[in-house]
A and B are shown apart, each in its own frame.
Chain A
Amino acid sequence: MAFESPLVKAEAIEAIEFPHLAHKYDVQGVPRTVINDKVPIEGAAPEPMVVEAIKKALAG
């Protein structure tokens, strides 16, 4: 998605190496995706689900 838009940044974060980030973003299990620091997706996220979550994050 980052490849398709200059507005999208994508970070893969290894939760064990960065416990402060895992704690900050309430990571209980992986994968966990957090969009714009507020909308989470638990588990493997199919493409349409990520799109919907981005819409939700941008809506407020």
Chain B
Amino acid sequence: MGMINERDRELIKKEFAGLTGQVKLINFTQELECQYCRETNMLIKEIGELSPAITTEVYNFITDKEPTEKYKIEQIPATVIMGEKDYGIRFYGIPSGYEFVTMLESIKMIAAGESGLSQKSKDFLRDLKEPVNLKVFVTPT
């Protein structure tokens, strides 16, 4: 029994059929003392099976020190969604419920190379001079 049911699997495959760019999902996990690590890891692997445009990597938060530091991962389960470069997009916790949709949308955005933001917002973001950190707190429902 997978994390994603058969019906959703087929729907997502159709959604992902048009993916043009490559997307990488990097999951940071550990075996013990992490309530949703196992489920998150299973979910990320299953998403990776839904399109040839998606590759997945898995690292151990404790023993794989180099990637953990490189991607500045501070808690787990963590998932990096990136394309050819790292855009600084992170999911902390299991991406279920509405967050699952957000993750699928992020994959499509990166593959398409288009954020979908207004030109006004794009201009504003392009002219930023200082770092901006956005934390969006969510729950699984």
Question: Closest A-chain residue to B95, C-beta based?
Answer: A12
Of B1-9, B11-19, B49-57, B115-123, which stretch is located at the interface? B115-123
Size bin of chain A's contact surface: 35 or more
Given A1-B115, A13-B137, A51-B124: A36 in contact with B94 (beta carbons within 8 A): no
Interface SS majority for chain A? mixed
Give the residue of A17, A34, A57, A58 whose beta carbon is less than 8 angstroms from that of B35: A17
Q: Quick check: A2 and B138 within 8 Å, CB to CB?
A: no
Contact with B along A10-42 (1 / 0, CB 8 A): 111111111001100101001111111100000
Within 8 A of A (CB), among B89-141: 89-95, 99, 102, 109-110, 115, 117-118, 120-122, 124-126, 128-140
Q: Quick check: B132 and A9 within 8 Å, CB to CB?
A: yes
Closest chain-B Cβ to A15's Cβ sits at a distance in Å of 5
Residues of A with C-beta under 8 A to B139: 14-16, 30
Q: Quick check: A12 and B128 within 8 Å, CB to CB?
A: no
Residues of B with C-beta under 8 A to A32: 136-137
Q: Quick check: A11 and B94 within 8 Å, CB to CB?
A: no
B-to-A contact residues, CB < 8 Å: 35-36, 75, 77, 87-95, 99, 102, 109-110, 115, 117-118, 120-122, 124-126, 128-140
A-to-B contact residues, CB < 8 Å: 1-18, 21-22, 25, 27, 30-37, 47-48, 50-51, 54, 57-58
| 14 A-B pairs with C-beta separation under 8 A | A1-B132, A1-B134, A2-B87, A3-B109, A12-B138, A14-B138, A15-B138, A32-B136, A33-B134, A35-B135, A47-B117, A47-B118, A51-B120, A51-B121
